[in-house]
A and B are shown apart, each in its own frame.
Chain A
Amino acid sequence: MSMLDRKVLRDLWGMRGHVFTIILLVATGVTVLVGSVSTYVSLLSTQETYYRDSRFAELWADVKRAPRYLLQGLSEIPGAALVEARVIKDVRVAWPQSDLSVAGRIISIPADEQPQLNRLHLIKGHWIDSLRRNDVLVNVGFAETWDVAPGNFIDIIMNGRMQTFRVAGIAHSPEFVYASRPGNPLPDDRTFVVLWAGEGAIAAAFDMEGAFNNVAVSLAPGASAESVMSVLDE
């Protein structure tokens, strides 16, 4: 060992308290950094997996009322992989437990099966029954806030008429990781509820039979969102 190396070792030993503290500090910093980075990577991976497994759509378009036969044309747009038409309407919910008025958004889903895009995760209960027109799924945030359980009933004012629906299940949607009422950026599970019901019930109430007012689109691998959007707009 050279004398300079020996000198350095003795210097370090002479200030071993400081050296130990610095090592501890650096080790803590590295641990925090590694922990933070791995948590971040893990969250990104979980997010990606969740949206992929849920078949989260990449594009949405709203129209006032479009006949269903247009759907064939939409599905032929170059770059569009899956196209799903839905009826989405803002409604009011009669919810006596709440002092404030409760707003809702009701979305049509196929009876007896998951939609092709934006698949729901059923937390409790079962899927809506095609034989029961008044079955509805309620988003998990509202259900947990108000202790809503499958089998409960919920009164929804649709197009000025109140209809009573039976809660078939509690669900979570990739579209509503947190649910906020239109115009309010903050999540509000006390006064906003997302509902999924069969298309027949919604269409009948809003005069949307044979029509849709929202379309969700997923892109083919490598497709450009801009080009699909421009064709969709046309």
Chain B
Amino acid sequence: MFQFYNLIPNLTVRENVQLVTEIVNNPMRREEALALVGLSHRLDHFPCQLSGGEQQRVAVARAIVKRPDAILCDEPTGALDVETGKLVLAAITRANEEVCATTIVITHNTAIAGMAHRVLRLSEGRIVGVEVNPHRLSPEELTW
């Protein structure tokens, strides 16, 4: 997943998700993936008709529809306001739990670390600290 979504502007939400199902074996149903991120009501909208948060949730659906073993999220909330960011993080959390894919969120926003199982701190390309969260927060509980 990318910071700026990278959806194809002239394909609908449904088609953007379908696009990646054409290159993998045994994908999830596209409607199922979109339901996981709470976008069942926006299937036939084009990206320009969606908010930034909705577009990022389409990107989450696009990532999980392949039933991946791992999801790498690069600053998924970097372009979003707090409330929208929380919605996206909730979608990522749900996808992580439902698909059971190892999910790595790269971020400069340390508050997001509160929802992780494990936090790796990086400095100048090296891991400088590893923490395990004994009490994970839900995305709704995060503040920044």
Interface residues of A (CB under 8 A from B): 2-4, 6-7, 10-11, 14
Asked whether A14 lies within 8 Å of B19 as measured between CB atoms, the reply is no
Asked whether A3 lies within 8 Å of B10 as measured between CB atoms, the reply is no
Which B residues lie within 8 Å of A6 (CB)?
11, 15
Selected contact of A2 from candidates B8, B10, B16, B22, CB within 8 Å: B22
Interface string of B1-25 (1 = CB under 8 A from A): 0000000101100011011001000
Please classify how large the interface on chain B is, using the bins under 10, 10 to 19, 20 to 34, 35 or more: under 10
Which chain A residue shows the least CB distance to B46? A10
Which A residues lie within 8 Å of B8 (CB)?
7
- CA–CA, A10 to B15, complex, Å? 12
Asked whether B11 lies within 8 Å of A7 as measured between CB atoms, the reply is yes
- CA–CA, A4 to B8, complex, Å? 10
Interface string of B114-143 (1 = CB under 8 A from A): 000000000000000000000000000000
- CA–CA, A11 to B8, complex, Å? 11
- CA–CA, A6 to B12, complex, Å? 11
Closest 5 CB pairs of A and B: A3-B19, A10-B10, A3-B15, A3-B18, A7-B11
Which A residues lie within 8 Å of B18 (CB)?
3
- CA–CA, A10 to B11, complex, Å? 8
- CA–CA, A6 to B15, complex, Å? 9
- CA–CA, A71 to B86, complex, Å? 110
Asked whether A4 lies within 8 Å of B19 as measured between CB atoms, the reply is yes
Asked whether A11 lies within 8 Å of B10 as measured between CB atoms, the reply is yes
19 A–B contacts from the bound complex (CB under 8 Å): A2-B22, A3-B11, A3-B15, A3-B16, A3-B18, A3-B19, A3-B22, A4-B19, A4-B22, A6-B11, A6-B15, A7-B8, A7-B10, A7-B11, A7-B19, A10-B10, A10-B11, A11-B10, A14-B10
- CA–CA, A3 to B19, complex, Å? 5
- CA–CA, A2 to B8, complex, Å? 14
Which chain B residue shows the least CB distance to A3? B19
Q: How far is the CB of B59 from chain A (nearest CB, A)?
A: 16
Q: How far is the CB of A83 from chain B (nearest CB, A)?
A: 78
Which B residues lie within 8 Å of A11 (CB)?
10
- CA–CA, A163 to B19, complex, Å? 96
